[in-house]
Amino acid sequence: MQPRWIFCARRVVARSHHSSLSLPKRLLSTTSAEHLSKTTRNIGIIAHIDAGKTTTTERMLYYSGYTRRIGDVDEGSTVTDFLPAERARGITIQSAAITFHWPPANPADPNPPLPPTFDSIPPSSISHNINLIDTPGHADFTFEVLRSLRVLDGAVCILDGVAGVEAQTEKVWTQAGLYQIPRVIFVNKLDRDGAAFARTVKEVGVRLHGWPAVCQIPWWKDGKSEFVGVGDVVNLRGMLWQGSSDGSQIQAFDLNQLETTNKQFAEELKKARVALVELLSEHDDVMVEKFLEYDEDHLAIPGLQILQSLRRVVLQTPQVVIPIFAGASFRNIGVQPLLDNVVDLLPSPLERPDPEISIGNRTSTLNQLLTAGPTPSANPTKKQSSKKNALNAQDIRNLAACALAFKVVNDPKRGILVYVRVYSGTLDKGSVLFNTSLSTAERAPRLMKMYANDAVEVDSLSAGQIGVISGLKHARTGDTLIVYRGLQLKGQPPGDLSTLQLRPINVPPPVFFTSIEPNSLSEQKHVQESLDILLREDPSLQLSVDEESGQTHLAGMGDLHLEIARDRLLNDFKAKARIGKIEIGYREATTSSTSPSTYTLDKPIAGKPAKAAIGVSIAPALLQDQYDPSSPQPPQNEDENHFETIYPLPDNNTLHISHPKLPSHDSSSHKSHLPPHLSLPGLLSAIHAGASAALARGPFNGFPVSNTNISLTLDTATHLFSTETTPTAMSMAARGAVATHLRQANDASPNVLMEPVMRVTIFVNEAAMGKVVQDLSSSRGGQVISLDGDDSSSSSSPASAADVLVNPASIYTPPDPFSSTATTDAGVAPGQLAAGQRQIVARVPLKEMVGYLNQLRALTGGRGTFVMSVDGFERMGGQRQKDVLDALRLAEF
Ligand SMILES: Nc1nc2c(ncn2[C@@H]2O[C@H](COP(=O)(O)OP(=O)(O)OP(=O)(O)O)[C@@H](O)[C@H]2O)c(=O)[nH]1
């Protein structure tokens, strides 16, 4: 049988003189939504930095015919890394979603009918629509990886065959597992000196907690280290990449041919087939039946049966079997069969679990909402709010589409592009999109699919599809967009629908910040507009204005995160601004309470008289030495028996607003308490905004305030002054009130500093372990939590009960061309790391982790890697606080 990809690869050569992309539009416009969903794969590539994601993606685009020459990351000519900052650094910063077809469609018959089942042919016999999302590999962009993961149906994890499983891979792998994303592995860079396929496969078992199913074995020329092709264990054939520089010419040899030309390789291929059938039989009952049907002959089972069994195990939840493929993208080896396997093994959008949603105060799934009819009340005690927010069957029928904006990109040529994944219904060009995150509606002027660097306009995007909306003014990365039939631009969908969030995620607290000052007044507008775009692109950046200094502070997740933001601002947006040093974002915690008093604002705003008052007091939150800052929840208390609304705020702050009971359905009680131009929700949101602004800068050292309870009291009889009390006046009153009391509390007993503390996981070679632990605990003030996964929370132990404990001795691997101690199983117990590898988990103040990579490299001869994430904020000891403050002051001069 001639491999299908040989045909595809040849077609690439034939197509390469065509410059335009006329095919996709036809394909999309004539394909039914269901056909499209069945033949769609929304996949991502996840990997450690430099494992070869970009190189592999470029080959995928080339072989599928979407680019005419192979891009080269080292030359800065790739399609996917398209920001100048990315090209300059050779790393991927933004997730770019690209659509292509695999196998390439036949222009004469772009939509051949789908067979009723794929029982007799593999899915990759039919052209599929692949939406590929390239995810960033650097730890600072973990949040961006998470955002991309949300929209994936499957993933290819690329490993560097020399480095094996690296720290960041393990982290992203686990995160993808939490989203139940089926994954396959591509062991790349097998052409490099020191590439160790066998060791890497064992590491997959032990560190990624699954059973590696070796589906391809590397083909080393004459059994030595020149990597020339792969052995296809599923179809029992060898594939040799030789004779063409672009990898489009591949020779295939069946087992009989191999037995005469390369006996040793043929024997290994058979061993691999036996191991694969054995492994599949342990996890798939159908494979056991096939095994018996074919007289227990591992080699007699047809490749298609093996493929179908692999597909079943990959789609099992949790995924325990991990298919492994081999290649060297840079040498153009292995990419076409990898693409076949993406189509054959990874799921279509129709095969994915129902996406999670949050609506009102509860969580559910989208299909439950769409099929359940009228929604039940979120909380039986909240009668009033549930009555107001309940949805009837017609409301739900009117929900014409739900989509998630997973990426906003400012394209130099096309303006702002919002990448969306549609989860239900169909999003049509021109429809009104209600943004449930911003509570505003805007029209979708243009819809597109992105093919490499070419955009193709489409009229609609149906469920399961990934596409781009251009011309939106407000939508940000992460926003949920819904289409509600008949909704006008100024309207709001009924009840809880206006709060519907698809796959909501918590934004971690920013731990670094920098200051931004326009060079001149005339530059201010451009700087602000550029910052607005940056924030739409990346909501894990946060902006605040320091009223005292007039400076704008930009806060982010890591120093590289802010560095990239700075580069984007200055180089891409050409903003003329002074940008300060990147500093650690400490917090200051209140340590004493204040007595209640009333604060009155009485000064003109924008030339108009303004007056508003509010009662205020503050107190330290239960004085915790540590806290875990999570994102604020929606208001907790709308119970009609209470007069208080409680807002949990970031950084362990809480805002209590006492106010009169004004049921929102009772307009007469509103009229008796409030002037006609004010509403209770409007006043509460103004107070919330004012109090939050005051907390952004503490009186002690200008850091954001943490661990503080704020009590504000709104007495509608004495605190409102007719038309002089506007929401803006009330917001300013709240801000002034809180700022005054924060100062009072700090004067009575100074605030204390809290510092970000990281959870750090470090992988080192055995010889370096002692030095690294010593450096962590003595020089960096860190606390070692576990060594080699002896703590249940460490990432080398199974992350959950679903994870399996894999004994590396039971994993089949072909031999590597050179023998290495790392490929032996000696001394490696199940659940432990491969020989020679050690893992350290520690809590270390962020300040001590700045520039750690260089130090770790020096201590480990360049082999150590680490990942870290914010574990919480911790109160600093007196001496440490003094040292930090002294250093900060020194830096000001
Ligand atoms: N020898 C060899 N080098 C490779 C191979 N694949 C990629 N590289 C090189 O590895 C380096 C990193 O490759 P990229 O494709 O940029 O890796 P990436 O994973 O996209 O990296 P980030 O975008 O930084 O996350 C480049 O210098 C590539 O040329 C391969 O198969 N063999």
SS3 for 125-147, per residue? HCCEEEEEEECCCCHHHHHHHHH
CA of 134 to the centre of ligand 1 (A): 13
Any binding-site annotation on 53?
yes
Any binding-site annotation on 109?
no
Any binding-site annotation on 47?
yes
- Please name each of the domains of the chain with its CATH number: 4-351 (3.40.50.300), 356-377+389-502 (2.40.30.10), 514-532+544-584 (3.30.70.870), 591-750 (3.30.230.10), 753-796+831-892 (3.30.70.240)
Q: What lines the ligand 1 site, CB under 6 Å?
A: 47, 49-55, 73-74, 90-92, 137, 188-189, 191-192, 328-331
pLDDT of residue 275: 97
Q: Is the pTM of this model over 0.90?
A: no
Any binding-site annotation on 189?
yes
pLDDT of residue 118: 85
Query: Residue 72's CB: how many other CB atoms inside 10 A?
Result: 13
pLDDT of residue 711: 94
CA of 325 to the centre of ligand 1 (A): 17
**Tens-digit pLDDT profile for residues 62-87:** 898 877 777 655 555 555 555 555 44
Q: Probe ligand 1: pick from 330, 331, 338, max atoms within 8 Å of CB?
A: 330
In angstroms, rounded to a whole number, what is the distance separating the alpha carbons of residues 407 and 4? 34
Any binding-site annotation on 49?
yes
In angstroms, rounded to a whole number, what is the distance separating the alpha carbons of residues 261 and 240? 13
Of ligand 1's listed atoms, the one at least distance from the Cα of 158 is 19
SS3 363: strand
Question: Could you tell me which of 231, 548, 270, 502 has the C-alpha nearest to residue 366?
Answer: 502
> Averaged in consecutive runs of 10 residues, what is the pLDDT profile of the chain (893 residues)?
43 32 40 78 88 89 81 55 48 60 82 81 92 69 75 95 85 87 97 92 91 96 85 96 80 93 94 97 96 96 97 95 97 96 95 87 86 52 46 83 91 86 94 91 92 82 93 92 89 83 77 89 90 88 77 83 87 89 91 95 88 95 55 46 74 89 59 78 88 91 92 90 90 96 96 92 87 90 79 45 71 80 41 63 91 86 81 89 85 62
Annotate 43-59 with DSSP letters as a single string. EEEEESTTSSHHHHHHH
Any binding-site annotation on 167?
no
> Which residue do the tokens 């590999």 mark?
137
Q: 374 with 393: CB under 8 angstroms?
A: yes
Any binding-site annotation on 138?
yes
Q: What contacts 673, CB < 8 A, 6 or more positions away?
A: 660, 662, 716, 717
Q: Probe ligand 1: pick from 53, 61, 73, 329, max atoms within 8 Å of CB?
A: 73
Which residue owns the Cα nearest ligand 1 atom 2?
189
CA of 189 to the centre of ligand 1 (A): 8
Q: Probe ligand 1: pick from 55, 58, 335, max atoms within 8 Å of CB?
A: 55
Q: Probe ligand 1: pick from 45, 49, 50, max atoms within 8 Å of CB?
A: 50
CA of 817 to the centre of ligand 1 (A): 23
**DSSP structural state of residue 429:** T
Say yes or no: ipTM exceeds 0.85: yes
Annotate 595-622 with DSSP letters as a single string. --EEEEEES-BTTB--EEEEEEEEEE-S
